[in-house]
Chain A
Amino acid sequence: MFYREAGDFKTSYRDDNQTFPIRLDRMGYYILMFVAFLVVPFFINDYWVNAVFAPFLIYAIAALGLNILTGYAGQVSLGTGGFMAVGAYACYKLMTGFPEVSIVIHIILAGGITAMVGVAFGLPSLRIKGFYLAVATLAAQFFLVWLFNKVPWFYNYSASGQINAPERSVFGVIVTGPNTEAWAKYMICLVFVVVLAWVARNLTRGMMGRKWMGIRDMDIAAEIIGVNPLMAKMSAFAVSSFFVGIAGALFFAVYLGAAEAGEAFGINKSFLILFMIIIGGLGSIFGSFAGAAFMVLMPVLLKNVLVGGMGWPTDLAAHFEFMIVGGLIVIFLIVEPHGLAQLWRLTKEKLRLWPFPH
């Protein structure tokens, strides 16, 4: 009844092109931004930022990145963990090598370095497709993690083989290291998420996105129309790796504070982020967020219910948590194979007509 286009006339193509064509959606978006920037930072505490917000926001960036590559451009990748490691180690080397430069620049540069590595490992995609490409990117995953463990230069010859984020600040506020306050951690992740989501939206709604989707849906037709497959695939790998690299840098510098390549950025990470975009919805910006929220919140919620609510022992709950999350994923994929984004779209379509059946 309230959620509809009627009365909201579009008089230009610019209006017709906007991200949220329905007024209620726009209002929802503004309210969400208001709450995220002006309400949450005042109430957030260490538990919430470490258990929920920081991982959700950082994984959302990684999921956006992988969704650009897999969901939009149709190139399957299992190297996400490895690329996150590149971002993390690049950020670490930059932080320790140039301590006077702002951490924000380091994080962006880490994304740039990851983009270059991503393009290098994306080259096989010109020849191979589908599962075979997935295996090729799997090689990237294992090679990169091995490299960061094997070459001491990457972890500055530290005895533990770990990398530790030194203390850095933005506008006088400490954002990395053990003395970081919860709201600062949250804010730096939030700013990166909002900016990158906006960039992803711009790229995917314009010609770049159409080229990627063309390659995904029918590469021969795309080439006949004038899409250069080399440029389209490489740009998808570059942009995707840029996002994933930034996610890796934030994950290490802001969230973990200390990391070891095999442990923090192993194959599990690659699968986790792949699950996120499959559950969230391939080829959807909203889906990247929904998937990240699902995979981050579900275990936290289950733990609270099982341990906090029903008083189960922690170890038993932890195992049940695995089973329940796994089961939910399977059930979910059977019920709605196109992910949460599709569910959201269907709800909106129904809502548009509600309460009338036609």
Chain B
Amino acid sequence: MTTVTDMNADSYVTADGRTIGGVVMDLKNITLRFGGVVAIKDISFDIREGEIRAIIGPNGAGKSSMLNVISGFYKPQEGEVWFRGSKRPPMKPYQVARQGLARTFQNIALFDGMTVLDNIMTGRLNHMKANMFQQAIWKGKAEREELANREICEKVIDFLEIQHIRKTPVGRLPYGLKKRVELARALAAQPSLLLLDEPMAGMNVEEKEDMSRFILDMNDEFGTTIALIEHDMGVVMDLSDRVVVMDYGKKIGDGTPDEVRNNQDVIDAYLGVAHD
């Protein structure tokens, strides 16, 4: 196995043998303002196929806003979002989802009244085409589709080891499992880009290890491209291929974990710097 370290090539192989492809999502000069507050200021970075891309930064740096821009929730005042080689016109979030984007939320956003299985099945909704009348009759297309997609969801359930809670209403689950179900729902959509907003917030070490394993396996087995926001530096440095560092809405660093770790601006942002 040859290890190519030239990250500007069209595609390269990482040290652990995964192939990183071309650019999936390219953000160009994004600026986002809320009234007078500038949340994101002229930020550009890209996400490549098959990689794990981390976005880090101190609180209020604009990381979540960035994710909201990518998932179509916020409309940036300036800048362009390029997805799979074409410029994305202004879109509603559900249209963005149809293009193959899925995400999880910092505060879990599951459907509490539905079972785990139903929650995960909603992830398949862009893959199911039966119209209302076909669903009303059920027999035929609707049932076939339901069963085919159920099988895909069961694979995701197996993968995330949540078989035992399949039919439990989500509202009854503890926090750690809810996080996992939310990941399952996003994964069931088989997205070409998966956005994770603090997947390990509020977890203990063991749960973090589980979650890290899932993220790595997801990336490895399904080749899912992942962009994640995380505060646990150890996790970020271990998991990600490349890291973007934000502070006060600006990009202050971008590169491999090692490059970022040794970047003076990043160290200043995290540890503070003496003003004289």
List chain A positions with a Cβ less than 8 A from chain B: 12-14, 17, 199, 202-203, 206-208, 210-211, 213-214, 216-218, 220-229, 235, 239, 283
Contacts and interface: CB of A to CB of B under 8 A. Distances in A.
Contacts, number: 100
A96 to B, nearest CB: 29
Nearest to B73: A224
Given A13-B150, A14-B143, A208-B132, A224 B109 contact: yes
B136 A199 contact: yes
B137 interface: yes
8 contacts: A13-B147, A207-B146, A213-B118, A216-B113, A217-B111, A222-B111, A226-B94, A226-B126
A234 to B, nearest CB: 11
A286 B36 CA distance: 53
B109 A220 contact: yes
Closest 10 CB pairs of A and B: A226-B97, A221-B109, A217-B111, A202-B138, A206-B135, A13-B150, A226-B126, A199-B136, A210-B122, A223-B93
A235 B132 contact: yes
A210 B121 contact: yes
Contacts of A229: 94
Interface of B: 71, 73, 92-94, 97-98, 102-103, 105, 109-114, 118, 121-126, 128, 130, 132, 135-138, 142-143, 146-147, 150-151, 154, 185, 189
A214 B114 CA distance: 8
Given A199-B136, A207-B135, A225 B125 contact: yes
B81 to A, nearest CB: 16
Nearest to B121: A210
Contacts of A227: 94, 122, 125
B142 A202 contact: yes
Given A13-B150, A206-B130, A223-B92, 20 more contacts: A199-B136, A206-B135, A207-B122, A207-B124, A207-B130, A208-B132, A213-B118, A214-B111, A218-B110, A220-B109, A222-B122, A223-B93, A223-B94, A224-B94, A224-B109, A225-B97, A225-B189, A226-B97, A226-B98, A228-B94
Contact of B142 (A206, A228, A283): A206
A222 B124 CA distance: 12
B132 A224 contact: no
A202 B136 contact: yes
